[in-house]
Amino acid sequence: MITQKSWISLLLLSLVLLGVGACAATGSGGQSAAVPTPGEVSPSSSDSGEPGEPKTTLTLYKMWDAKWFNTFFGPLLSQFETETGVELELLRLGGSSEESLAELQRLLASHSGEVDIYSIDVVWPGILAEHALDLNGQVPASELEQYLPAILEEYTVDGKLVALPEFVDAGLLYYRADLLEKYDYEAPPTTWDELEEMAAAIQAGERAAGNDDFWGYVWQGANYEGLTCNALEWQVSYGGGHIIEPDGTITVNNPNTVAAFERAAGWVGTISPPEVTGYDETASHNQFWNGNAAFLREWPKFWDDDVHNNLVEGRYGIAVLPTNSGQHAATLGGWGYMVSKYTDQPELATQLVQRLTGPEASNLRAMDGDLVPAAALYQDPDVLAKRPYIVDLLPVVKSAVARPSTVTGEQYAEVSAAYHNHVHDILTGQVSAAEGVANLEAELVDITGFEAKMP
Ligand code: GLC
């Protein structure tokens, strides 16, 4: 039986492992996770065993939701339990990517084997590599061939395969095709000039028609990892480099990046709501899905049936994000599964990761419209019949721009925090773009010891 535990049990677990609490790690104090569709799963109060007994559970730590469980993985997990006799425990953590990383680092710092598998962001391998089992060698090379090589590369640190990818993200432009038509635009914008012009005209028209809450363009401007992803797209699309280049030079302080950030700051309160500097993925996509925005920058993974129907029936469209330099930029995102080096079940844990990222799981995701790490599925006739728009996304995935996580390794979290803090200061008008990138450059030199240069 699959046991579900919330972040509260995980917090208790961390406290126990750090020697702060005396209560049992699981069971006492653990809350069953509230799954919105009861009846699909039966939360259990079973423990992972008395101290000293061999462990019969595998614990998976992940930000998961009812859709993940019910649509994709509940049946796969149950099947795995039946086949192996292992009992699975799902720990759920909420919060942003950064909050989860902090929680997970606290847990791993104790070198505990209580959690066997961690779901990790594509930018974390350099930070977590020392705690990971090397999946090279555990997973046959023939099986690794099914994944897009560039995606596997992002999960590889100094030759160590830290995780296997579950799904891929890439920043996309969503647009209201019905409104483009209403305002006589034949195609979505390909440049930022066009986007601004269309967003302003549609916003003015919709407001004049009575929708006071309507805005032209929404995106993720809150001060967190999501802003790193958005801002990287702006600067790359301006030919402003990649913050820190793969050769370890800091290139962020350049006129193209300054121009890109000035432009984005100019959107706040004009074509984007003033609150956009507090928007995460949920806030921005709610604004769009509720009919109150013409354009949205977002990942692909929020597609539900409504969105899918709107895409297929032509009310919504997806396009690559605009550019100013000819280079369209989509930040590469996504999540994978890492097996803890401290697990006492390395083989079973690896098998579960293979199951969660393998062909069957990827196919379920692809049929649901998500981007997956397996290239073949973008040509699969069944997937194409159900999700015709997915075929256009493979080139976007293949050319997606990585954040500088490989070159900065374990310093990535600090580097990204410095980046989004300074960009946020620019967006909120606390400093000019030129001052902001100069401050950022100095801080990046301090953090990394790398040299600063023009791209
Ligand atoms: C998505 C992406 C992840 C990124 C995060 C930022 O979850 O998959 O890579 O770090 O958004 O909010």
Distance in angstroms (rounded) separating the CA atoms of residues 445 and 455: 15
Model confidence band, residue 36 (pLDDT cutoffs 50, 70, 90): very low
pLDDT of 13 > 50? The answer is no
Q: Is the Cβ–Cβ distance between 142 and 151 less than 8 Å?
A: no
Q: What is the pLDDT of residue 37?
A: 31
pLDDT of 384 > 60? The answer is yes
Residue 416's SS3 state is helix
pLDDT of 116 > 90? The answer is yes
Q: What is the pLDDT of residue 370?
A: 85
Nearest to 400 by CA among 195, 169, 191: 169
pLDDT, tens only, 422-437: 999 999 999 999 999 9
Mean pLDDT (whole number) for 253-282: 98
Question: 154 CB less than 6 Å from ligand 1?
Answer: no
pLDDT > 90: what percent of the chain? 72
Q: What is the pLDDT of residue 451?
A: 97
pLDDT of 179 > 60? The answer is yes
Q: Residue 30 CA to chain centroid, in angstroms?
A: 27
pLDDT of 2 > 90? The answer is no
Distance 441 CA to ligand 1 centre (A): 24
Residues 6+ apart with CB under 8 A from 322: 173, 189, 190, 191, 192, 194, 195, 237, 328
225, 232, 280, best to mutate for ligand 1 pocket (most atoms within 8 Å of CB)? 225
DSSP class of 301: G
Distance 18 CA to ligand 1 centre (A): 29
Distance 231 CA to ligand 1 centre (A): 13
Nearest to 215 by CA among 286, 273, 285, 264: 273
Distance in angstroms (rounded) separating the CA atoms of residues 77 and 84: 11
Q: Whose CA is nearest to atom 6 of ligand 1?
A: 226
Model confidence band, residue 15 (pLDDT cutoffs 50, 70, 90): very low
Could you tell me whether strands 117-121 and 451-452 are parallel, antiparallel, or unpaired per DSSP bridges? unpaired
Model confidence band, residue 26 (pLDDT cutoffs 50, 70, 90): very low
pLDDT, tens only, 182-209: 999 999 999 999 999 999 999 999 999 9
User: Edge-to-edge, what's the strand order for the sheet holding 316-319?
Assistant: 215-218, 293-298, 172-176, 316-319
Give the ligand 1 atom nearest the CA of 228. 6
Distance 392 CA to ligand 1 centre (A): 21
Q: What average pLDDT is seen over the chain?
A: 88
Could you tell me whether strands 249-250 and 451-452 are parallel, antiparallel, or unpaired per DSSP bridges? parallel
Residue matched to tokens 């990971």 = 132
Question: 300 CB less than 6 Å from ligand 1?
Answer: no
Distance 164 CA to ligand 1 centre (A): 16
The tokens of 248 are what?
């370890």
Please tell me the least confidently modeled range out of 61-75, 216-230, 267-281. Answer: 61-75
pLDDT of 25 > 80? The answer is no
Q: What is the pLDDT of residue 54?
A: 56
42 vs 187, which has greater pLDDT? 187
Question: 171 CB less than 6 Å from ligand 1?
Answer: no
Q: Whose CA is nearest to atom 3 of ligand 1?
A: 333
Q: Is the Cβ–Cβ distance between 268 and 277 less than 8 Å?
A: yes
Please tell me the least confidently modeled range out of 15-19, 176-180, 270-274, 407-411. Answer: 15-19
Distance 226 CA to ligand 1 centre (A): 6
